[in-house]
Structure 1
Amino acid sequence: MTDAVDPARLRELGDFLRSRRNRLRPADVGLPSGARRRTPGLRREEVATLAAISPTYLAFLEQGRDVRPSRQVLDALAGALRLGTAERAHLHELVHRAAPPVVASGGETLPPAVAALVDRLDPCPAYVTGRRWDVLAANRAARALWTDWLLLAPDARNMLWWMFTDPAARTVFVEWEQEASAQLARYRSAAARHPGDRGFAELTARLKAASPEVRAWWPRHDIAPLSSGTKRLRHPLLGELEMRHVVLLTADDVEQKLVAFLAADADQARIAELIAAE
């Protein structure tokens, strides 16, 4: 946080906490209803007990005082107030001007509508990657120009793993070194948002063990944002293709990235013929 805190944000924080406390009933948090409740919602003392903080500290927060709670305190309050994901992020943004780091676990599920959209984009190549760049969906055009991820082992269906360990990737990308280093920088930026995700640590270790380039580039600490742009691909039948691409984030999970490509009209026609002949 900065030294100067906007008083309006402090007031907003206090109002937000009070509104969420007032909407809860004792039964919502496993407390007896009791009697003589003069106001709706939970008492301040009850929320403070659930969050393991003092009632006075909670009162200061609700009054908009500049007491600067830590992220751990905010997470405790989010749990006590039964906040949803968006509400928890809003709470952190009011205090720290940034959402909390995401800690994800388990596999990723792609909404069926997104998978259907990817297929409908043929013959424009398109694919969706998850938080660690696992390939969650790819249409026929993408599989024809990159690789057929559906034929790979599940733990190999990852854009970074393919980029750094499959010799074919160095043929597919005309500018492989530029593309690979940028991909690694984007991955590192994502890893910083998921400090508790063991999957990132495991994938990073696998990449370092398998790729001398990853071992050489990782200590540089390069980071890069997601971005649209142009890629140059090489195909054994179509030759070199220059393709513009856009990166779209899904609303249901902003770590899922839909990447769609568009070539020149003549090249798009040849891609269509290629996949039609399969």
Structure 2
Amino acid sequence: MYNEKQRYKELGDFLKSRRAKILPSQVGMPEGIRRRTPGLRREEVALLSGIGLTWYTWIEQGRPIQISIKALESLAKTLMLDKEEIKHLYILAQHTPPTDFQIYGDNINPMFQHVLDSLEFSPATIQDARFNVISWNRASAKIILDYNQINVSKRNMLRIMFTNEEYKKKFTEWEVSAKKMIASFRTMYGEFVGDPWIENLITELRNESKEFDSWWSMYDIKKDEGMLKNINHPILGELEFEHTIYMLVSNSDLKMSILTAVPGSDTEKKIKQFLLK
């Protein structure tokens, strides 16, 4: 962990390194002929971000400056930061990283998507730490739920579990599964207490679902773990799955959720016939 002095220095050095990577032409500034260093000048970053030059200079110098969320958003935009850089910037500035870029941001790593697609007859998704579904395979769309039909801002498994009637009907024991999901979400919640996006989601669900409102207040805690899950499909009937979850080592914010047909059941046969016809 950084101490306070190190944190401010690291923040300043991080900003300097990122402005050095931006060509003036990328942000509509003239290249000029007397640039002694690559990238943008401090005054250009300050101008483009709508903040004072002196104040920005102090930040780069590692002075103990408190930076507002609005200023961070402007700097992230000016410096064209990707989602990991944005997260790092906010942490150094001692603010909770925004969550919206995790919903609307970059596409999933192509290698992760390739793994999903290789699971031809096993419905699978990749979710972030806040239970947002960010990628899925064809089996999941055909057997469980077509996430393409859900607005990107609403692709949250907790929200879907309690507000999507089509999804709720898929469970032979919806109440059991819903309570387990709440307990798992509550375990994660400890890391994000006060996160505006999370708090807004909880408030909305407490207003929209009497079950969620009641069960959220129970404070049950349970980590994600493998379990059996039965699904009612409108055409295939009852399907029996083993539900396993894997954390993606290269990105600890992501997890892969896989439904695999229970050995000895007719689930895999049904799915193959359905998807290959």
Cα distance, 1:261–1:135 mapped onto 2, change above 3 Å? same
Do the aligned partners of 1:60 and 1:67 also contact (CA within 8 Å) in 2?
yes
Deviations 1:208-248 (A, max 9, x none): 54x43134345x396979x5412233468998967351144
Which deviates more, 158-167 or 78-87? 158-167
The match for 2:257 is 259
Structure 1: distance between partners of 2:178 and 2:78? 49
* Distance (Å, rounded) in 2 between the aligned partners of 1:91 and 1:55: 19
Task: Give the corresponding residue for 2:229.
Answer: 233
Q: 1:11 to 1:50 in 2, by over 3 A?
A: same
- Kept in 1, the 8 Å contact 2:108–2:134? The answer is no
Select 1:154's aligned residue among 149, 157, 167.
149
2:96 maps to 1:94 = no
Contact 2:241 2:259 in 1 (8 A): no
Counterparts in 2 of 1:136-155, with a 5 A limit?
137=136, 140=139, 148-150=144-146, 154-155=149-150
Kept in 1: contact 2:87–2:97 (CA 8 A): yes
Q: State the Cα distance separating 1:274 from its structure 2 match.
A: 3.8
CA-to-partner distance for each residue in 1:46-102, whole Å, 9 max, x for gaps? 322222222222222122122232232222222333333333322222222753343
Instruction: Work out which of the two has the higher radius of gyration on C-alpha atoms and give 1 or 2.
Output: 1
Corresponding residue of 2:183: 182
Q: Per the alignment, in what secondary structure is the counterpart of residue 195 of structure 1? A: helix
| TM-score in terms of structure 2 length | 0.64
Whether the 8 Å contact between 2:243 and 2:257 is mirrored in structure 1 is: no
Letter in 2 for 1:175: V
Give the count of matched residue pairs.
Answer: 262
Q: Aligned-pair distance for 1:259?
A: 0.8
The TM-score with structure 1 as length reference comes to: 0.64
Alpha-carbon deviation of 1:184? 6.5
Residues 247, 208 of structure 1: alpha-carbon distance in 2 compared, 3 angstrom cutoff: farther
Instruction: Provide the C-alpha distance between the structure 1 equivalents of 2:175 and 2:211, rounded to a whole number of angstroms.
Output: 17
Shift of 1:17: 2.0
Residue number in structure 2 paired with 1:76: 74
Letter of the structure 2 residue corresponding to residue 60 of structure 1: W
Instruction: State the SS of the aligned residue for 1:53.
Output: coil
Q: After superposition, where does 1:88-127 map in structure 2 within 5 Å? A: 88-96=86-94, 98-103=96-101, 117-127=115-125
Match of 2:17 in 1: 19
Judged with a 3 Å threshold, the aligned counterparts in structure 2 of structure 1 residues 21 and 8 are, in CA distance, closer, same or farther, namely same
Cα distance, 1:132 vs structure 2: 6.6
Are 1:241 and 1:263, in contact at CA under 8 Å, matched by a contact in 2? yes
Which blocks of at least 5 consecutive residues in structure 2 are unaligned?
none
CA distance in 1, matches of 2:27, 2:105: 29
Judge conservation of contact 1:245–1:260 (CA < 8 Å) in 2: yes
Q: State the Cα deviation string for residues 184-227 of structure 1 (Å, max 9, x = none).
A: 6589789976739x9x69x946x854x43134345x396979x5
**Closer, same or farther in 2 for the Cα pair 1:216/1:28, shift >3 Å?**
same
Map of 2:271 onto structure 1: 275
Cα contact 2:83–2:102 (8 A) shared by 1: no
In structure 1, which of residues 56, 59, 74 is the aligned counterpart of residue 57 of structure 2? 59
CA distance in 2, matches of 1:39, 1:107: 31
On the 8 A contact 1:174/1:233 being kept in 2, the answer is no
C-alpha contact 2:42 2:57 (8 A) present in aligned 1: yes
Q: Distance in 2 between matches of 1:107 and 1:22?
A: 24
